[in-house]
């Protein structure tokens, strides 16, 4: 009788990478399980390169590509996208801006023809630009309904004050209104060139076909030059500061505590990520246990370490009721102080290593997810083996290394606490909650 075979884990080949004529790059993660193809056309530059007085330019300019091209109006383009069973959207960050598209595999060729035409011959119609400006301003105003978004924007612009990371990728109502056609055309000519492009494919497409299609997409573009990264490493003001974002009639608050975090190139980057998962990265983390499970102050409590081309923020987040915000902030800062001074235990590290290793399968279980990891490496300048060596790196972290990384990278004496709430109700308890407070201010929720 033959013994049953032991199942083997599926192994994924490295993402295919193609050099394109004129200096562009294409990446491919094939999967033929579903007859769909995803396409990403990404720039190596993002909103950090926007002029300070015209933030939102990168997002506006890339969205304008769909608003008309040679021989096709905005309505024509939308109709063709729908007819082909496709979808298309623009995503913007400080370091990159990209068109994300998906199409039924049998319609890939006509969709690529449309995409190449949109990229190569946009018209940048004045009336369409005026309409998009109005829509973008309306989106900014509508986002003020979300207290969490309001808090995130306030933290970003205050923590990174004076740095491009402090500016919103979507712009402000005044900066978007100031964007003119000449600005959009200038962005396009400078940025939508072969050497500044990375094209990604995932789904039902072969390597040979992907290489040919990528060349078709960039065929009408000039070679140009990659937009240089002129962003300096960020820093932040010293001291413990409190920013209260005043929003009327709030029964709940949003609390975000931020400081500078890690860079993917740091030797202790992975140890810090492991230590952060212990502190605030799971449902059983220290923050969740103390704030939600024991006291019921907030349904959620978490901490995250951002990753970008340059050092990003470390942010702790809770959302207690207004009457609990003072004690909740006080406890959060006490837990932060203890995490930095005492580090993490061997038992905590062992548990979180098992969790991170097991959950990693969900980070790579689709071709699209694997493609986006490869795009992050290419566009953000992450170490080449950042994702490939992730499991081994996590397994190698010791409690001592994790604790040392926290002490080195997280500075509880230099932090910014942002709270969205009704100032008349919460200001006094919040001021009392922050020991060694060096400055406090109140701004309206619609401040930009």
CATH number at residue 275: 3.30.830.10
CA distance 230 to 411: 26
Same domain assignment for residues 208 and 299: no
Cβ 443 vs Cβ 154: under 8 Å: yes
Cα 327 to the chain's mean position, in Å? 31
In a domain, 224, yes or no: no
Same domain assignment for residues 48 and 105: yes
User: Taking the C-alpha atoms of 331, 335, 341 and 346 in order, what is their torsion angle to the nearest 10 degrees?
Assistant: 160
pLDDT for 432 equals: 96
Of 187, 218, 249, the position where a domain reaches its end is 218
Cβ 182 vs Cβ 8: under 8 Å: no
Same domain assignment for residues 337 and 201: no
CA distance 301 to 294: 12
Enumerate residues 6+ apart whose C-beta is below 8 A from 368.
Answer: 29, 38, 202, 203
In a domain, 266, yes or no: yes
pLDDT for 4 equals: 37
In a domain, 181, yes or no: yes
Number of domains in the chain: 2
Pairing of strands 97-104, 87-92: antiparallel
In a domain, 231, yes or no: no
Same domain assignment for residues 214 and 328: no
pLDDT for 445 equals: 97
Same domain assignment for residues 312 and 256: yes
pTM of the model: 0.91
In a domain, 253, yes or no: yes
The owner of tokens 């497409």 is 205
Same domain assignment for residues 286 and 431: yes
CA distance 358 to 309: 27
Cβ 105 vs Cβ 210: under 8 Å: no
Same domain assignment for residues 134 and 252: no
> What are the tokens at 231?
């962003």
Give residue 319's domain range: 240-444
In a domain, 350, yes or no: yes
CA atoms within 13 A on the CB side of 82: 6
pLDDT for 12 equals: 63
Cβ 101 vs Cβ 39: under 8 Å: yes
CA distance 342 to 345: 9
Same domain assignment for residues 301 and 395: yes
In a domain, 4, yes or no: no
CA distance 387 to 389: 5
Of 169, 184, 218, the position where a domain reaches its end is 218
pLDDT for 180 equals: 98
In a domain, 225, yes or no: no
CA distances from 406 to 54, 340, 342, 349 (A): 37, 6, 10, 13
Task: Outline where 252-380 has alpha helix (H).
Answer: 269-280, 286-287, 325-342, 346-359, 367-380
- Work out the angle at residue 58's Cα, subtended by the Cα atoms of residues 233 and 178, and round it to the nearest 5 degrees: 105
Same domain assignment for residues 198 and 267: no
pLDDT for 308 equals: 95
Query: What is the chain's pLDDT, residue by residue, as a tens digit (448 residues)?
Result: 333 333 334 446 789 999 999 999 999 999 999 999 999 999 999 999 999 999 999 999 999 999 999 999 999 999 999 999 999 999 999 999 999 999 999 999 999 999 999 999 999 999 999 999 999 999 999 999 999 999 999 999 999 999 999 999 999 999 999 999 999 999 999 999 999 999 999 999 999 999 999 999 999 999 999 999 999 999 999 999 999 999 999 999 999 999 999 999 999 999 999 999 999 999 999 999 999 999 999 999 999 999 999 999 999 999 999 999 999 999 999 999 999 999 999 999 999 999 999 999 999 999 999 999 999 999 999 999 999 999 999 999 999 999 999 999 999 999 999 999 999 999 999 999 999 999 999 999 999 9
């Amino acid at each position: 009788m033959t013994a049953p075979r032991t199942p083997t884990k599926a192994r994924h080949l490295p993402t295919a990478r193609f050099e394109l004529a004129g200096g562009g790059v294409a990446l491919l993660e094939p999967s033929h399980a579903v007859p769909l193809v995803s396409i990403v056309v990404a720039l190596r530059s993002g909103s950090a390169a926007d002029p300070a007085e015209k933030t939102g330019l990168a997002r506006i300019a890339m969205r304008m590509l769909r608003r008309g091209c040679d021989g096709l109006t905005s309505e024509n383009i939308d109709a063709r996208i729908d007819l082909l069973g496709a979808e298309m959207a623009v995503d913007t960050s400080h370091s990159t801006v990209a068109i994300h598209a998906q199409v039924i595999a049998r319609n890939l060729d006509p969709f690529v023809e449309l995409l190449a035409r949109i990229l190569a011959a946009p018209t940048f119609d004045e009336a369409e630009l005026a309409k998009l400006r109005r829509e973008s301003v309306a989106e900014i105003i509508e986002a003020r309904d979300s207290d969490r978004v309001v808090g995130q924007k306030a933290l970003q612009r205050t923590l990174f004050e004076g740095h491009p990371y402090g500016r919103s990728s979507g712009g402000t109502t005044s900066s978007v209104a100031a964007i003119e056609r000449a600005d959009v055309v200038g962005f396009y000519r400078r940025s939508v060139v072969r050497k500044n492009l990375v094209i990604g494919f995932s789904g039902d497409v072969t390597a040979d076909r992907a290489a040919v299609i990528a060349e078709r997409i960039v065929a009408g573009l000039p070679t140009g030059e990659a937009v240089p990264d002129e962003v300096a490493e960020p820093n932040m003001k010293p001291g413990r500061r409190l920013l209260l974002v005043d929003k009327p009639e709030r029964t709940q608050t949003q609390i975000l505590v931020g400081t500078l975090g890690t860079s993917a190139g740091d030797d202790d980057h992975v140890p810090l990520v492991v230590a952060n998962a212990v502190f605030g990265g799971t449902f059983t983390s220290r923050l969740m246990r103390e704030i939600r499970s024991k006291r019921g102050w907030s349904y959620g409590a978490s901490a995250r370490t951002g990753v970008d081309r340059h050092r990003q923020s470390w942010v702790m987040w809770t959302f207690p009721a207004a009457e609990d915000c003072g004690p909740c902030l006080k406890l959060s800062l006490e837990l932060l102080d203890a995490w930095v001074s005492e580090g993490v235990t061997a038992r905590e590290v062992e548990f979180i290593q098992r969790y991170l290793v097991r959950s990693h399968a969900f980070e790579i279980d689709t071709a699209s997810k694997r493609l986006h990891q490869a795009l992050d490496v290419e566009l953000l300048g992450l170490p080449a083996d950042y994702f490939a060596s992730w499991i081994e790196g996590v397994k190698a972290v010791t409690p001592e290394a994790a604790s040392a990384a926290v002490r080195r990278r997280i500075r509880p004496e230099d932090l910014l606490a942002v709270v969205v709430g009704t100032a008349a109700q919460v200001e006094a308890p919040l001021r009392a909650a922050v020991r060694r407070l060096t400055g406090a201010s109140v701004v309206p929720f619609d401040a930009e």
